[in-house]
Each structure stands twice: as C-alpha cells, then as structure tokens.
Structure 1
C-alpha cells in the first residue's frame, strides 16, 4: 500500500502530522502539502508561475502552491510512484455543505480522485485542534475500513467530518448528504496604512439546510459524517427542460 497525504493548512499543521502518525503501519507514506495555509483555495492550480518543491527535516515535501498543486505535482512530476490512496487533512475546522466548494482540503482529495485514485478528506468540526488525537484514530479506522472492504465502484471520493469530541472514537458513522448554508456575511471594509480601502471576505453564513440526512445534522448529534462526493456538476434533472428550450430556439 502506498498512501499520499496532503492538506490545506500547510505542511506544519498539527492535523497533517496527526494524520500521518495515525496511518503509520498501513504502508509507504508520502506527504506533499502547501508551504503556507491555503484554506479556501478550492481546486485552483498555479498556471502562471513555476512551483518549487522542498523537503522538510521530517521528510514532508512542501510546495509553493495550493493543495491541488501539491497533489497534482505528486502525481505527475515523477518524484514518487503512483499512490493507491490519497488522504487530505485533518483540517482545522469543518468542511460541510457549501464549504466543500471552497475547501482546499476537499480539493486535494478531489485531485487524487480526478486521477482515478480513491481519495478521502478528513476535517474536525471545530477549529483549534481540540481532541485531534481522537479524530486521528477515527481517520485511521475509516482508512482501515475502506482498505479492508472497498466499495464496489472502485475509486471513490469521501468527505469525512469528525466531531471535536472526546467520545468521537466510539461515535457511530452516518452516511450523509451535503447540507446548505446561507450566503456569507458581508465583506469587512478597512483602511490600509496609506489610507486606501481594503476588504476582507466575510465569515461563512449560518447553516440553512440542516435537516435529516445532512452532514450538519449528523455531526450536531455527535456522529461521524461520511459524504460520498462526485465531480459531475451536470444538473441531470434539468436536462429535459433545457433540451426542449434549445429545440424551441432553432
């Protein structure tokens, strides 16, 4: 077994080290992670400037780019052999609902999935690394489970959110769908030292769809949320009406 581990909080993040430590003994582990925190960078690739890869004292490779850059380089640069599994995390905070569209943690796993490799993203529901050791043990159990009995479709993309709770190791797992958030809060306007206006993106909005079966609902009840994701963004249910509409335009 050959495992590639990445994240979006940067190669020095406690969550990355915890995930690497948790996976010891499962096989050969390579780490490619961003040099700096790259939260919210989604699936972006750096196309207009070169990237460099450095090796830290602990053997982790860090990349001057995004989480997707890190996994992409690992899979295409020839620096390592193709892995059997891509893991991302453990993220400092939840990645649920609409968060998954922006998440660098999910993006790193998605990059592996796009290359046909089973991939899993792991996140703690709260920021601050509380009970990270427990979350790491949960992540190990999830990895062991998919290795022991992988799903029939072969490669997959999972988004796992683990409650920041001392009891999470014994918490049941729930298969969930993504919930939804309200639009984010307004941008925060400030002034830089030269008197010019600057803006900070506002905080994420409150959860809106937190109903039965959602990741929000599962983690609120103390369950480990496991959401299978896909990349196909086609609105399949709307295809017939758009086919009719296009036909009317001819």
Structure 2
C-alpha cells in the first residue's frame, strides 16, 4: 500500500483561525496531516524567529479529524522549525501555510508571516505554498477557494518545485463560479504608503496605530495585482535567494 504524502500545515493567524481549519480539511483529503501553528495571531511577523525567549509547543485538538495538532508559542517560522526538528519523524512531502485572512500580494510578501512559514519550509528543502484569501474578516467564506487550493497542492506534490522556490497564491474574494481561473504571475511593483495615526489611551498616554494604503506602480497585465483585480487566482513563484544578481557586475566596477 502506497504511503500517503506527509503534509505540514501552518499559518500566521493562529491555530483557531477559520482559514487554517479549512486548509486542514482540504489537506486531509490528500494526505497525512500534521499541524504546527501559532497559539495566537502572528500577522506581519515576517521571518521573525524566537531567540531571546522560551518556546512552548504542545499537543492540542481543536476540531475532529485525523490530523495531529500542535500549538506553538512562537512565530510562523518557529512553527516550521519546531515541526522539522522536534515533531516530525520524516521530512514532509509538502508544507502549506494559510489560508490567510487577507492579501499577501505584491510587496506584502515581505511582511507576511504566512509566506515566511512557506519560505522557511523551502529553506529546509520542503516544497511549500502560502495561500491567502482577499478577505480580512474572521468569518470569511473560504469554501469557494477549496477546489483551487486542492488542485494547486496536488500539482506541487506531483511535479515538485524548482530548488529555492516556493509559491505565493492569492485568491480573490469571489464566488467559485466568478473566479476566472489561475494565472502564473510576477510580483507587482507596489508599496504601502503608510501613516501612523496618533491617539490617546483612556489614561491620557499617546500611542500610534499603523495605517496606510497600497500604491500600485505597475501597469503590467502579468502581475499578481492585475490578476486579482480581474478575477483570477494569482500564483507567484518566490525565491528566497535575495541576491541582486544583476547588480554584481556594477559593484565590481567600484573602487573597493
């Protein structure tokens, strides 16, 4: 009897997040599922790891199902490290992170805990995908994304991924029948125009609340932003070698 693929599931919204619970259900249809997820929301943590504090990682059970679950006090990247080094008895065939409540397209990939978990898995040589739905509501409807998430995961299991590459998948907030399909894209050239809203606590102490708006400088029709705005699921291959190879020749010309 053929062994089922071992699938590591994690996220950044926390182990009780509905997006994670949906992702677990989908992966249970494909393979043997081990969940290692943060015990509290970790959005925007990027690739942070815990170095000056203790880590707790305890077995838990949130929903009925065949999956084995662990709740971790650390970041999404910590969760993957703990799974790889302390929990799993073999390397997973796949790591999936999400389904995130909200977009991780364009420059948001840099800040994303969802994608950092996938990147950490990729660094460990595990094929990995980060999934995000463009709906920030805790009660977002993830059902329309189910078929697409499963198909993309099965394709990665079947075909593998190039060395040093993970997938960033973003899903528009649409009904299943309204989604036009899947587009392989590049990351749009955009940025967050940020503002820090100055407020006062009931005790009279000043504090700041980060806000802002996304600015898209990219008019190309091959970007993740274009795909999402036009009813497509975007799939961007992300590399974690951050070397700017095109700049090396220029730097060689400097008098160093």
Normalising by structure 1, what TM-score? 0.92
Cα deviation for residue 126 of structure 1 reads 2.4
Question: Residue 41 of structure 2 corresponds to which residue in structure 1?
Answer: 37
Q: Is the 8 A contact 1:131 1:166 kept in 2?
A: no
Which blocks of at least 5 consecutive residues in structure 1 are unaligned? Answer: none
Aligned to 1:134: 144
Tell me the equivalent position of 2:157. Answer: 147
SS in 1 for 2:144: helix
**Matched pairs, number:** 246
For 1:108-119, what aligned pairs fall within 5 Å after superposition?
108-119=117-128
Q: Is the 8 A contact 1:168 1:222 kept in 2?
A: no
Change in 2 beyond 3 A, CA 1:229/1:72: same
Q: Deviations over 1:194-244 (max 9, x none)?
A: 322211222343333252111000011111100000011111111111111
| CA spacing shift, 1:203–1:36, aligned 2, 3 Å | farther
SS in 1 for 2:194: coil
RMSD (Å), alpha carbons: 1.8
Does 1:211 pair with 2:211? no
- Give the direction of change, closer, same or farther, for the CA distance of 1:182–1:27 in structure 2 (3 Å limit): closer
**Aligned to 1:30, what secondary structure does the other structure show?**
strand
Residue 126 and residue 170 in structure 1: after superposition, are their counterparts in 2 closer, same or farther (change >3 A)?
A: closer
- 2:115 corresponds in structure 1 to 106
Q: Unpaired segments of 5 or more residues in structure 2?
A: 63-67
Give me the whole-angstrom Cα distance separating, in 1, the residues matched to 2:239 and 2:12.
20
- The verdict on how the C-alpha distance between 1:179 and 1:87 changes in structure 2, with shifts beyond 3 A counting, is same
The equivalent of 2:53 in structure 1 is: 49
Select the structure that is richer in strand. 2
Conserved 8 A contact 2:7-2:32: yes
Report if the CA contact (8 A) 2:185-2:222 is conserved.
yes
1:176 aligns with 2:185: yes
Q: Equivalents in 1 of 2:74, 2:40: separation in Å?
A: 8
The equivalent position to 1:232 in structure 2, one of 217, 220, 241, is 241
Under a length normalisation based on structure 2, what TM-score does the superposition of the two structures give?
0.90
2:209 equivalent among 200, 206, 210: 200
